[in-house]
Amino acid sequence: MQKRKLGKSGLEVSAIGLGCMGLSYGYGPATENQEAIKLIRAAFDRGVTFFDTAEAYGPYKNEELLGEALAPVRDKVVIATKFGFEFNAEGGQSGMNSRPEHIREVAEAALKRLKTDVIDLFYQHRVDPNVPIEDVAGTVKKLIQEGKVKHFGLSEAGAQTIRRAHAVQPVTALQSEYSLWWREPEAEIIPTLDELGIGFVPFSPLGKGFLTGAISETTTFDSTDFRNIVPRFTREARKANQALVDLLGKIAVEKNATPAQTALAWLLAQRPWIVPIPGTTKLHRLEENIGAADVELTSDDLRDIENAVSKITVKGDRYPPHLQARVDR
């Protein structure tokens, strides 16, 4: 597996990471614990050194899972986790909370769950409109000075928020959605990261599974799968968006790759400091995703993709309104 550095931070990780959320949360029933551990360790055995989790995934269960799975190789991997929410007794999110004292509480609890003495990359999960970003960055800066955290990250933050945070504590990475079917970061975000030397970690790089070609208009999701409430996953939207998957399939055949590998290779080709974190619960999908690092897209390939994609309009919002409201602008 090739390695990449997240911006100017010096933090080196595998070119493709593993987003671990779906093992515990979000995409139907949680994977059985030993099976999930097996998958995480299989990723490491195949060269993945960058693992993404959050207290919100479960909540808490995903961090505990990673802590157990990666304990034998802790010094050889980079673990990213997140703060920024509060949870009720039933485990549901009860609002945002990035107050300094809460960030500290989350850090201490995450260290225990992850069975480690330092968090490699600590993201603010969503920008909290009630807490100045300078206070958030300053709190993480202190945690870094205390040796409890190594790097500071933001998730779904807007360009101005990134600049304000970076001025207090250098931001190592931004984690936001980015893929062939969600390209909004190209307008403001990527130029800002370019200028400041910040790495970019795209989540949902395969469009929550849609770009793999494994989902069609007739696919049904488990009742606990959050794609049931995503406008882009209505039956009508899936039918309309099939054109993008069909295009990926054609390009993939020419490259002797799969649609998923082509979509990931496209992301890797955008900047040398972009590290996508596709998630999966299946070993064959894991191996397929890792294989994307070996798919070479030439400048001609990229131009052809650009020309073809520009003629396709993706239908449906990527979040329902209540979740869209949490995205910083």
- The phi-psi region of residue 263 (left if phi > 0; otherwise alpha if psi is between -120 and 50; otherwise beta) is alpha
- What pLDDT digit, counting tens, does each position of 177-187 carry? 999 999 999 99
Cα-flanking dihedrals φ and ψ of residue 2, to 5°? -70, 160
Write the pLDDT tens digit of every residue in 259-268: 999 999 999 9
pLDDT computed for residue 329 by the predictor? 78
Q: By the 8 A CB rule, do 206 and 22 touch?
A: no
- pLDDT value at position 90? 86
**pLDDT at res. 84:** 98
With a cut of 90, say whether residue 91 has pLDDT above it.
no
Residue 107 pLDDT exceeds 90? yes
Enumerate the active-site residues: 57
Q: What is the mean pLDDT of residues 170-174?
A: 98
Residue 204 has pLDDT above 90, yes or no: yes
pLDDT in tens, 274-313: 999 999 999 999 999 999 999 999 999 999 999 999 999 9
In this predicted structure, what is the pLDDT of residue 193? Answer: 98
Which whole number is the average pLDDT over 73-88? 98
- The whole-number pLDDT of residue 317 equals 96
Question: Considering the entire predicted model, what is its pTM?
Answer: 0.98
CATH, domain 3-324, list 3.30.559.10, 3.30.1550.10, 3.20.20.100, 3.40.50.1100: 3.20.20.100
Which pLDDT band, with edges at 50, 70 and 90, does 89 fall under? confident
Arithmetic mean of pLDDT over the chain: 97
Percentage of the chain with pLDDT > 90? 98
pLDDT number for residue 111: 98
Question: Any residues with CB less than 8 A from the CB of 32 and at least 6 apart, and which?
Answer: none
Handedness of CA 237, 242, 243, 244 (dihedral sign): positive
SS3 for 117?
Answer: coil
- DSSP helix/strand/coil, 225: strand
The region that residue 43 occupies, defined by phi over 0 for left and psi between -120 and 50 for alpha, beta otherwise, is alpha
pLDDT, average across residues 243-263: 95
> What's the whole-number mean pLDDT along residues 76-98?
95
Calculate mean pLDDT across residues 203-230. 96
